[in-house]
Amino acid sequence: DVAMVEPDKKVDSVCPYCGVGCQLTYNIKDNKILYVEGRDGPANHGRLCVKGRYGFDYVHHPHRLTKPLIRRDDAPKTPDFSMDPNDIDKVFREATWEEALALAAKGFVDIRDSAGPNALAGFGSAKGSNEEAYLFQKLVRVGFNTNNVDHCTRLCHASSVVALLECLGSGAVSNPVSDVDQAEVIVLIGANPTVNHPVGATWMKNAIRNGTKLILMDPRGTELSQQATHHLQFKPGSDVPMLNAIMHVIVEEGLVDKDFIADRTSGFDEMKRHLQKYTPELMEPVCGIPAETLREVARLYATSKGSMILWGMGVSQHIHGTDNARCLISLALMTGQIGRPGTGLHPLRGQNNVQGASDMGLIPMCLPDYYKVDDDEARGHMEALWGGKIDSKAGLTVVEIMDAIHAGNLHGLYIMGENPAMSDPDANHARQAMSELKHMVVQDIFLTETAYLADVVLPASGFPEKTGTFTNTDRLVQLGRQAIDPPGDARQDLWIIQELAKRLGLDWNYQGPADVFAEIRKAVPSMGGITWDRLEAEHSVVYPCEQEGDPGEDVIFTQDFPTASGRGLFVPADIVAPDERPDDDYPFVLITGRMLEHWHTGSMTRRSNVLDALEPEAVATINPITMDEMGVKPGELITLSTRRGSVSVLARADIGVPTGAVFMAFCYYEAAVNKLSNPALDPAAKIPEFKYCAVNVTPGGEP
């Protein structure tokens, strides 16, 4: 009983899971985490959800990798593998760090020198620290000499970031989640925060209790539907026609903020012309929302003293995800609902450091702080700081890298803490691609579905085993502190990256995370004023914070936008149909996402006792009406099939799922739903359409 055990130390840190960034304290005894308590951080005020409170014991799981592994010469790389941990010895042999690092580096050097730098690529991680993300992308850029570096932001909010950079000049949120308590109206679209940002949802619930109105826009009914003044359960994929109709009403009824438009925006006249055809009456059958509801919502949003928009991957994970975000930005710009407390735009970031990883340049088109790689001046600055040449051509994104492997153009891949065998769309294709690589190095804490395909596996550190900074969805840079030591011969990720870099010919000698952070301050001007000492003292500092002593800015865009003109830009969007529509063979819509108890591909939470006990088996949720029509009862096996594959899972009834649709989380290795998802990409952001593809659902299946 842990309550009876006295910890020998307490270590203040942050939660390793979602982008809310709750601060917590680890209670430690004999290098083991006994329990976790919430701490009074700006994002959580002591609160923790079930993952933050109970999802810590994965670090002590017997599956932890404790030795470097090298693939046996006679072990075939089969993309269709079983994940029995007892098979590890048949596939890999243990090695020393010296041997593993030498082999890892040699494979990359050989490919770089024979096939050229662009035959190499790296996937970093949104779970790692800013310092790890920064060094990882630096290694790829000046060690591999390519911009082929990306991470799972490509799979979550890439489209939001593209639209925000294009329209407002900054990819970050304008206001923190907690600002909802100053809003009169919250628009929550394509997000299920009680599941995916649970402590963030408590800010919304409290605001609603104090009189804030919630307008929920989501094809799925979620827990917050019960507290919404309006729930617009629009047809999946019809965000643009619905949002354009709302904007049409705002223009038609003169509810725009004329001064804001004149003083702070450009492109409104074109937008106004564009919206003429999107009348609520014409859009009603397209999006499924009554015209009068669209009018009511338009008035409510436009005329409140403060309206705030928050969105999730229901917006971003479409081939028109960038268009969806452009519409939300236009809505805020035309009503002046941005630049003040209780207003603004907030794409709810998924992973604990997806904001920071992108800020650090872990994306193929941008250097740290979002300077484009083809910007000669910015590249020159970074080359001077790094002492190496950087390619001026943008690199490939996550899905493009898999395609390049298949096409025979890319042969070596370094993966730190990502699991594309589970998270990529059309995962069979991704697994096949990785099995075709000449050289793959995976750095992780478990033998994930991806690591299973590696040539060299480097055992890394879990979140509580290292110190670093993590940037939450509110732009808060927070300090995660080491609480325990890594097991066995596992090493901290910064050490591993640096040792690999040295073997690639880079003369690096960082003494630790504070040393790397000092360089980040020079590479990322918006964080230039944040000192390590201040982080130690205050635990978190919000950026922009350009000069030492600046308090940092919770709310941005108060005077202007960081675009060349200082103005926000309206970018009109037209209707683009989902890439793959239901038909006779595949008559349902498949929506993928996450669930409360499990985190992303499940590698951590499915190895956490409490969380796994709560949700141990793969399930897909379906509307009970649809289940009745199919003759399926809750708890029975069903098989989901798309043009790309099939999985069998248990059916669970959920009245929130629209009839004719099925929802499934992507955390189950035994029923990896991303084997089914569609890899079609948004043309601007290259994000796949995880939220919509055609699927057939049949009773029965192989358990």
Three-state secondary structure call for residue 459? strand
Min dist. Cβ of residue 45 to ligand SF4 (A): 11
3-state secondary structure 35-55: EEEECCCCCCCCCCCHHHHHC
Min dist. Cβ of residue 373 to ligand SF4 (A): 32
> Among candidates 371, 303, 394, which has minimal Cα distance to 343?
303
Min dist. Cβ of residue 637 to ligand SF4 (A): 31
> Among candidates 564, 448, 589, 435, which has minimal Cα distance to 76?
435
Strand order in the sheet with 9-14: 9-14, 23-29, 32-38
- In order, the DSSP letters of 542-582 are ES---STT----SS--SS--SSSSS-EE---------SS--
> Among candidates 352, 347, 383, 382, which has minimal Cα distance to 170?
347
Nearer to ligand SF4, 193 or 321 (CB): 193
C-alpha to C-alpha distances, 467 to 60, 281, 357, 461, 494, nearest whole angstrom: 18, 56, 16, 10, 10
Min dist. Cβ of residue 617 to ligand SF4 (A): 22
Shortest-Cβ-distance residue relative to ligand SF4: 52
Nearer to ligand SF4, 58 or 557 (CB): 58
Min dist. Cβ of residue 85 to ligand SF4 (A): 26
Nearer to ligand SF4, 24 or 275 (CB): 24
Residue with tokens 């949120």: 173
Cβ-contact 153, 317 below 8 angstroms:
no
Min dist. Cβ of residue 608 to ligand SF4 (A): 12
Nearer to ligand SF4, 280 or 350 (CB): 350
C-alpha to C-alpha distances, 142 to 119, 137, 414, 482, nearest whole angstrom: 14, 9, 14, 29
Nearer to ligand SF4, 20 or 289 (CB): 20
Interacting residues toward ligand SF4 by CB under 6 A? 15, 17-18, 20-22, 44, 48-49, 51-52, 197-199
Between CA 65 and CA 444 the distance in angstroms is: 8
Min dist. Cβ of residue 178 to ligand SF4 (A): 13
Min dist. Cβ of residue 199 to ligand SF4 (A): 4
Determine the distance from the C-alpha atom of residue 406 to the mean position of all C-alpha atoms in its chain, rounded to a whole number. Answer: 25
Nearer to ligand SF4, 10 or 277 (CB): 10
Three-state secondary structure call for residue 186? strand
Min dist. Cβ of residue 204 to ligand SF4 (A): 12
- In order, the DSSP letters of 148-170 are -EE-GGGGTTHHHHHHHHHHHS-
Nearer to ligand SF4, 51 or 151 (CB): 51
Strand order in the sheet with 120-123: 92-94, 69-71, 456-459, 439-444, 412-416, 120-123, 149-150
Cβ-contact 129, 353 below 8 angstroms:
yes
Min dist. Cβ of residue 675 to ligand SF4 (A): 26
Three-state secondary structure call for residue 123? strand
Between CA 173 and CA 171 the distance in angstroms is: 7
C-alpha to C-alpha distances, 643 to 501, 586, 658, 677, nearest whole angstrom: 41, 8, 22, 9
Nearer to ligand SF4, 353 or 592 (CB): 353
> Among candidates 658, 675, 695, which has minimal Cα distance to 238?
658
Min dist. Cβ of residue 599 to ligand SF4 (A): 8
Three-state secondary structure call for residue 694? strand
Nearer to ligand SF4, 157 or 429 (CB): 157
Nearer to ligand SF4, 151 or 349 (CB): 349
Between CA 351 and CA 418 the distance in angstroms is: 12
Cβ-contact 595, 196 below 8 angstroms:
no
Nearer to ligand SF4, 22 or 155 (CB): 22
Q: Give me the amino acid identity at 432.
A: Q
Helix or strand run (H / E) with residue 249: helix 239-252
Nearer to ligand SF4, 44 or 432 (CB): 44
Helix or strand run (H / E) with residue 439: strand 439-444
Nearer to ligand SF4, 17 or 517 (CB): 17
Nearer to ligand SF4, 20 or 681 (CB): 20
Min dist. Cβ of residue 37 to ligand SF4 (A): 11
Between CA 421 and CA 404 the distance in angstroms is: 16
Residue with tokens 């649970």: 198
Nearer to ligand SF4, 53 or 272 (CB): 53
Min dist. Cβ of residue 357 to ligand SF4 (A): 16
Tell me the longest C-alpha to C-alpha distance in the chain: 72
Three-state secondary structure call for residue 12? strand
Min dist. Cβ of residue 481 to ligand SF4 (A): 16
Lookup: tokens for 386: 């790094």
